[in-house]
Amino acid sequence: MAIDFELSQETRAARDYYHRMASEKMRPLSRRYDEDEHEPPQEWIDYYWREGRKQAPSGGGGDGMVRGCVQAEELCWGDAGLYLTMPVGALGGAAVLAAGTREQQTRFLSAFGGDGPPIWGAMAITEASAGSDSAAIQCTARRDDRTGEWVINGTKIFCTAGRQASLHPGGFVVVWATLDRDAGRAGIKSFVVPAGTPGMKLVGLEEKLGIRASDTATLTFEDCRVPDDHLLGSAEIKQRARGSGDKGFRSAMATFDASRPIVAAMAIGVGRAALEHVKRRLEEEGVEIRYDAPPRELTAIERDVMEMEAELQSARLLCWRAAWMMNQRRPNSLEASMAKAKAGRAVTRITQKAVALLGPEGYSTRSLVEKWMRDAKINDIYEGTQQINQLIIARRILDYPSSMLR
């Protein structure tokens, strides 16, 4: 399978544009909104909505998903938490694209290109008893045949951008709920719940280790009613062979095939920020990295830096491969999980090593290195933990169903 890793001229221009945005607009705000976790970064939100998204070089060149990964890497080089506060469709929008009809995609997503106030999309999947195992969801949806509406009840936790998406008019939250708990995966469906819908309530915000600029919300749904056409996919509950659920669940899960390469790119951006800082500080102290020296002559620091560089580059290549396959409309579940697993582990190691190499400076708040280490860890957790992605990889390679490999 031939893959061209040469970026188009348009994507290279976009990369340069997003890097300037990260350097000039995001980095100066990093420390402030890391410390003021629950204060919305309004100046960044306003800038991105009014100027940043509109001034980016126009699309073209056929890079598509690869360009999205390039954007994520550059902006997370700036600040991963601020990246997650951008007024975009995010996971909610990805779910609509993966499982919604063309009419639903137009209806729910067109406002993100408009000139109104900022809006957000979010996804509500995780529950106290349903984390990595999405099929264990207890949140319910039942159809009221009298009104033709769906009635949702349950509690969702760890909803990225859940505050913004649930409160700002025009935004929405895509909620995963079961029509029949006994049906397992086949009963899981996703519903678009517009911001401000009665019965959807913001009840809490998490205090987190990293990505503190981003809000991570707890939402409750109490007799929350949405129209019939807010269901993404079919209401039919149909079991498939090997117990993998119906098309609706699979379409919803396809969201992760698109989002995991983006998360990998986010991790790469954080890791690159830490690595570049380390190399700059070493250069300032007169420490040379001798790439042409025989391996037996390398110092411990040189070996560490080269290993960090290799980890970062291999993660990027896996990320771009998964994104390229999506551009080609090829199944990429295996490759998306490989990219996510590799990048999550790599950035955790790279940022921890950066702190170690810089000693007291790395551990203090004099620089952003300690923050990058904290921001890095989430990439090994959300969008499927390291362990879950390794399970997916094993199942795809061995062609095993979930019932045979847990």
Alpha carbon separation from 274 to 25, 167, 318, 344 (Å, rounded): 18, 35, 20, 14
* pLDDT attached to residue 14: 92
Averaged over 154-159, what is the pLDDT? Answer: 97
* Sequence-distant (≥ 6) Cβ neighbours of residue 283 within 8 angstroms: none
What percentage of the chain carries pLDDT values higher than 90? 80
Within-domain flag for 128: yes
* pLDDT attached to residue 62: 63
Q: Which domain holds residue 167?
A: 105-244
Within-domain flag for 222: yes
Q: Per the residue annotation, which of 74, 206, 302, 383 is the catalytic one?
A: 383
Within-domain flag for 25: no
Query: 289-300: per-residue pLDDT in tens?
Result: 999 999 999 999
Q: What is the CATH number of the domain that holds 182?
A: 2.40.110.10
Q: Give the model's confidence band at 243: pLDDT under 50 very low, under 70 low, under 90 confident, else very high.
A: very low
Within-domain flag for 125: yes
pLDDT at position 251 over 70: no
Averaged over 364-384, what is the pLDDT? Answer: 95
* 277 vs 361: CA distance, rounded Å: 11
- The string of DSSP letters for 335-377 reads HHHHHHHHHHHHHHHHHHHHHHHHTHHHHSTTSSHHHHHHHHH
Within-domain flag for 298: no
* 161 vs 122: CA distance, rounded Å: 6
- The string of DSSP letters for 155-201 reads EEEEEETHHHHHHSTT-EEEEEEES-GGGGGGGEEEEEEETT-TTEE
Averaged over 301-330, what is the pLDDT? Answer: 95
* pLDDT attached to residue 367: 96
* pLDDT attached to residue 245: 46
pLDDT at position 393 over 60: yes
pLDDT at position 121 over 70: yes
* Sequence-distant (≥ 6) Cβ neighbours of residue 166 within 8 angstroms: 122, 173, 193, 195, 196, 200, 202, 217, 219
Within-domain flag for 112: yes
* 257 vs 248: CA distance, rounded Å: 15
**Mean pLDDT value across the chain:** 92
Beta-ladder partners of 121: 172
* pLDDT attached to residue 242: 47
Contact assessment for residue 369 and residue 274, using Cβ atoms and an 8 Å cutoff: yes
227 versus 252: the higher-pLDDT residue is 227
CA-based nearest residue to 124, from 114, 111, 112, 138? 138
Within-domain flag for 49: no
Neighbours of 224 (CB within 10 A): 24
Within-domain flag for 397: no
Q: Give the model's confidence band at 227: pLDDT under 50 very low, under 70 low, under 90 confident, else very high.
A: very high
Q: How far is CA 312 from the centre of its chain?
A: 18
Contact assessment for residue 339 and residue 261, using Cβ atoms and an 8 Å cutoff: yes
383 is an active site residue: yes
User: Could you give the number of structural domains in the chain?
Assistant: 1
Q: Give the model's confidence band at 404: pLDDT under 50 very low, under 70 low, under 90 confident, else very high.
A: confident
pLDDT at position 50 over 60: yes
Could you tell me whether strands 121-124 and 172-178 are parallel, antiparallel, or unpaired per DSSP bridges?
parallel
